[in-house]
Structure 1
Amino acid sequence: TTTPTPTPEPSVTPRPTPEPTATPEPTVIPTPTPEPTVIPTPTPEPTITPSPTPEPTTTPTPTPTLTPARPQYAVTDLGTIDKGGQTFAWAINNSGEVAGYHVAFDGSVTEAFVYRDGAFQIIPHLGGNDTRAGSINNSGKVTGASATSSGDFHAYRWSPDGTMSGMMEDLGTLGGVNSRGAMINDIGEVVGSSLSSITDYYRAFIYKDGQMTDLGIPSKSDNMGTWANAINNFGWVTGAFNDPYSYHVYLRYSDGSVALGELGGGSSSQGFGINDAGQVVGAATNENGEYRAFIAKQDPMTGQWSTTDLGTLNSNLGESMAHAINKSGQIVGNSDTPAGLEAGFLYTGGVMYNLNSLITSNPTGIGGIYLQSKEWATGNAINDFGQIAAIGTIGGNEKGQKHALILTPVPAGAATQIPPNTSYNVVAPVTNSNTPNASTVSLVGGIASTNQSVRISFSSSLPSTKSSFAAASDVVNIAGTGFDTFVLQMSYNEAEAINTFGSEAEARLMWLDPDDNQWKPAVAGYTGGSSQQFINRAYDPSRDFQLGNHGIDTVNNTVWAVINHNGAFAAGKVLPAPTRDPSPTPSGGVLRSRSDLRR
């Protein structure tokens, strides 16, 4: 047996390992590194530690803005003085007395008149046969222009004196041949325009203390004119001055300083009315050369005028002119209409109304209602109770016969039946929303002793009385409470009270005593009481219900009194009589009762 010999492993000589050859790096074109996209990390919800739930806070519901009620007016047609003649109403005072003029049927005479208590009182001439009235103040005094025997016109002031003629005063001129009285304030001061002997142009004047004086309104040339159209009870005057191309409004203060106005964006402006707050109304041209009614007030510190364009009755197209403004800012004038005619307007509460659309009572059916002509616009065609002196045409035709009119706001009123042993505070408050003061009357206390029919009605004007009384409210008539003791409360116009009395705290609930036609505190008319205590706060039924107590609440603008009589009431004050009015000289005139007139 052969044992195999193992085959030896072959001897292997290792080969040397070569050095590796380095592979060259490739050429890399760098790519711009984009801005990193940042993924925001969510903010963790904060850990809220619960706290006790507070009582819910009640947010008061805002008072809605109410659209003012559309005014309503009743027409009083004054008729004519002779058959076929015409009458024109130019101005009205707070007693509802109207100043104007009538033209005879044959054109032979033009006579100025005052209409009061249903009768025309004719203002005498200054020697000619043409007299016109332009303004009447709250004392019934009138100014205008009257022809003299030479045919020239002179400004005049006429005063009632209880006779058929009244007293007529020729105010003269500034040396020229003609003058015209435009407006008279409650002090008896007259403003207007007169030809001057120096320049032979019209110059604005004021007549007071028995003398006519040039107001010294600067014009842009010595040979240009100035006109005064209106004056308020502080002696502030507005009107216009002219240059060779246009007219410009001005406001002259009682100290003689003058503010000149450039209004409306156009080249011309004129002031026709001003109230005691210094608000001026008139007309100014716009960029298109159209006259637009405006209201403006000048800041005496900065000299800047704030002006509002009142627009027109024709969707802001055409022209308009504002003639007068009362204490509450109601404005009247004339405007173009869509029919291409001219109509009177009332601007109140930011709205311009066509007067013809506001008439609810018109017994004679007269139409075509408009105001005084733009050639002689003056500043009191509306009184402080919203009554308007206007002109209407028979048949509404522009060429028809003209009649003087009084437009009177339709007053609010109510009647309430009160059973025995029932509180008078169940009578709903009545607000006279058709007037500037919008007075509210309430019966806030007292018990009816028997069946009572309580009647509350407002007067459309301040009754003519012997006392120098000023009201900061409408006049209300209360009837039907018998001799029961009750609490009468009435609102007043705060701005008017401050303007008239100096402080609203001076206002009281006043009563017109029918025995002597004098305004007195309301508690002066009660019977059976022993005291009159004034309380300077709101009425408190828990402690104030005592006959004779009365007071004022200046927070809520109300006056109140505990009384047991009826009558006419108002929030107001008896003022001292004006003292700066010089005595006029007498002349003649005619009083004509309406019942004696031929219609």
Structure 2
Amino acid sequence: MTFRRIFISMVFCSTLALCLAAQDARGGFRSHPVRIPGGSNVFVYGINDSGEMVANYTDAAGTNHCATITGNIITEIADPKAVGTGPGKGTTCFGINNAGQVVGAYSLDVFSNGFAYTGGQYVDIVVPGATAGTVAVGLNNIGNIVGYYADDVTTHGFLYVVQTNTYGTLNMPGASATLGVAINDSGLTTLQWLDLNGVRHGGTFQAGGYTPLDVPNSLQSAADGVNAQGQIIFRAKDTSGIFHAYLYSNGTFTQFDVANAADTHGFGINSSTQIVGAYNPARDPTTQIGFEGHF
């Protein structure tokens, strides 16, 4: 279940949020498409410092598939415990670290379980108390994992600490729902959350402190990947209904778009500021094509 893609609501810059200046650098961003033979709706969610990417795509039946991409080598990752075929079924992946470990989720009859993949081995990531599914979304080079889970009340973010084999809950103060998205080796974690009115916001968590953080002048906003330098990728919907991607660095949001795209969604970033995501071609706004790019 690709909850990360559909967790969308309206957002505005509130007094709780950091409403910062945005810089437009669309002309300085260069990218190329990432396609998977036989696959459609390609979303590239993560990239590590070696340039290895992790991507999701669907087949003709709508079943979700996951693969890593290194140069021209595409390696499928398919959790053997995944149940069913068709829309919403299969294996999805979101995060990859420098060791090539991958995290994501696989479908059950109704909900999803999270997993971590290392060297051909799949290990379940299931938060205690999760009664309606767990999704692992990001991990760092230490092996700590963030994501989200649902209980009988709402959706919570989580942080799994590998050294102690423990799960902690992430709840942005004032949120009706929270998702953990990415984490770097310093523990800086990106969040997406909904307020009590169903408005979507971005934010961060580190050392016990929560910081709301939104793209200025946007209708929707989401924080996604974070690299070792603390640079964060955002995506946001403007007042014309167009999605743009943003690089947040040193207190400034810089907009970037894939050339000739109807919408651009940024998701992941590595230490060399290589950025990955997906875009809708203007000629076919119903299709998603992955991309890798840089400034």
Q: Which TM class, normalised by the smaller chain length? A: 0.7 to 0.9
Alignment of 1:257-296 (within 5 A): 257-296=166-205
Query: AA paired with 1:382?
Result: I
Are the structure 2 counterparts of residues 153 and 405 from structure 1 closer, same or farther at C-alpha, using a change threshold of 3 Å?
A: closer
Are the structure 2 counterparts of residues 229 and 393 from structure 1 closer, same or farther at C-alpha, using a change threshold of 3 Å?
A: closer
Aligned partners of 1:71, 1:407: CA distance in 2, in Å? Answer: 16
1:168 counterpart residue number? 75
Aligned partners of 1:383, 1:230: CA distance in 2, in Å? Answer: 13
Task: Tell me if structure 1 keeps the 8 A contact 2:22–2:252.
Answer: no
More strand by share: 2
Aligned partners of 1:272, 1:290: CA distance in 2, in Å? Answer: 18
Superposed CA deviations along residues 483-512 of structure 1, whole A, max 9, x for unmatched, are xxxxxxxxxxxxxxxxxxxxxxxxxxxxxx
Task: Tell me if structure 2 keeps the 8 A contact 1:136–1:184.
Answer: yes
Aligned partners of 2:54, 2:238: CA distance in 1, in Å? Answer: 32
Q: Taking structure 1 as the reference length, what is the TM-score of the superposition?
A: 0.39
Aligned partners of 1:148, 1:399: CA distance in 2, in Å? Answer: 18
Alignment of 1:162-561 (within 5 A): 166=73, 168-174=75-81, 176-177=83-84, 178-196=90-108, 200-221=110-131, 224-255=132-163, 256-297=165-206, 299=207, 305-314=208-217, 318-355=219-256, 366=260, 370-372=264-266, 381-391=268-278, 399=285, 407-409=293-295
Task: Tell me if structure 1 keeps the 8 A contact 2:202–2:213.
Answer: yes
Query: AA paired with 1:135?
Result: G
Aligned partners of 1:403, 1:239: CA distance in 2, in Å? Answer: 24
Superposed CA deviations along residues 381-425 of structure 1, whole A, max 9, x for unmatched, are 222233433555666x9949877655533xxxxxxxxxxxxxxxx
Task: Tell me if structure 2 keeps the 8 A contact 1:173–1:179.
Answer: no
1:101 counterpart residue number? 35
Aligned partners of 1:270, 1:394: CA distance in 2, in Å? Answer: 28
Superposed CA deviations along residues 186-243 of structure 1, whole A, max 9, x for unmatched, are 112111101347xx5201111224321112312343xx10001111111011110012
Query: AA paired with 1:279?
Result: L
Are the structure 2 counterparts of residues 172 and 156 from structure 1 closer, same or farther at C-alpha, using a change threshold of 3 Å?
A: farther
Task: Tell me if structure 2 keeps the 8 A contact 1:191–1:229.
Answer: yes
Superposed CA deviations along residues 160-192 of structure 1, whole A, max 9, x for unmatched, are 6xxx6x363544333534222222211121111
Q: What's the offset of the Cα at 1:333?
A: 1.5
Superposed CA deviations along residues 533-573 of structure 1, whole A, max 9, x for unmatched, are xxxxxxxxxxxxxxxxxxxxxxxxxxxxxxxxxxxxxxxxx
Superposed CA deviations along residues 34-56 of structure 1, whole A, max 9, x for unmatched, are xxxxxxxxxxxxxxxxxxxxxxx
Query: AA paired with 2:269?
Result: I
Query: AA paired with 2:210?
Result: T
1:110 counterpart residue number? 39
Aligned partners of 2:129, 2:147: CA distance in 1, in Å? Answer: 12
Aligned partners of 2:183, 2:242: CA distance in 1, in Å? Answer: 27
Q: Which has the larger radius of gyration?
A: 1
Aligned partners of 1:334, 1:263: CA distance in 2, in Å? Answer: 19
Query: AA paired with 1:408?
Result: H
Q: Taking structure 2 as the reference length, what is the TM-score of the superposition?
A: 0.74
2:46 counterpart residue number? 135
* % identical equivalent positions: 21
Aligned partners of 2:52, 2:291: CA distance in 1, in Å? Answer: 20
Aligned partners of 1:207, 1:214: CA distance in 2, in Å? Answer: 9
RMSD after superposition: 3.7
Aligned partners of 2:138, 2:167: CA distance in 1, in Å? Answer: 14
Are the structure 2 counterparts of residues 188 and 405 from structure 1 closer, same or farther at C-alpha, using a change threshold of 3 Å?
A: closer
Query: AA paired with 1:192?
Result: G
Superposed CA deviations along residues 334-378 of structure 1, whole A, max 9, x for unmatched, are 12323343322222222334336xxxxx9xx63655215xxxxxx
Query: AA paired with 2:214?
Result: G
Task: Tell me if structure 1 keeps the 8 A contact 2:42–2:290.
Answer: no
Aligned partners of 2:134, 2:83: CA distance in 1, in Å? Answer: 14
Aligned partners of 1:306, 1:212: CA distance in 2, in Å? Answer: 32
1:75 pairs with 2:9? no
Structure number with higher relative contact order (C-alpha < 8 Å, ≥ 6 residues apart): 2
Task: Tell me if structure 1 keeps the 8 A contact 2:39–2:58.
Answer: no
Structure 2: gaps spanning 5 or more residues: 1-20, 85-89
Aligned partners of 1:70, 1:283: CA distance in 2, in Å? Answer: 22
Number of residues paired by the alignment? 269
Aligned partners of 1:148, 1:337: CA distance in 2, in Å? Answer: 31
Aligned partners of 1:401, 1:202: CA distance in 2, in Å? Answer: 25
Are the structure 2 counterparts of residues 141 and 285 from structure 1 closer, same or farther at C-alpha, using a change threshold of 3 Å?
A: same
Query: AA paired with 2:35?
Result: Y
Task: Tell me if structure 1 keeps the 8 A contact 2:200–2:221.
Answer: yes
Aligned partners of 2:28, 2:94: CA distance in 1, in Å? Answer: 28
Query: AA paired with 1:238?
Result: V
Q: What's the offset of the Cα at 1:327?
A: 1.3
Query: AA paired with 1:351?
Result: T
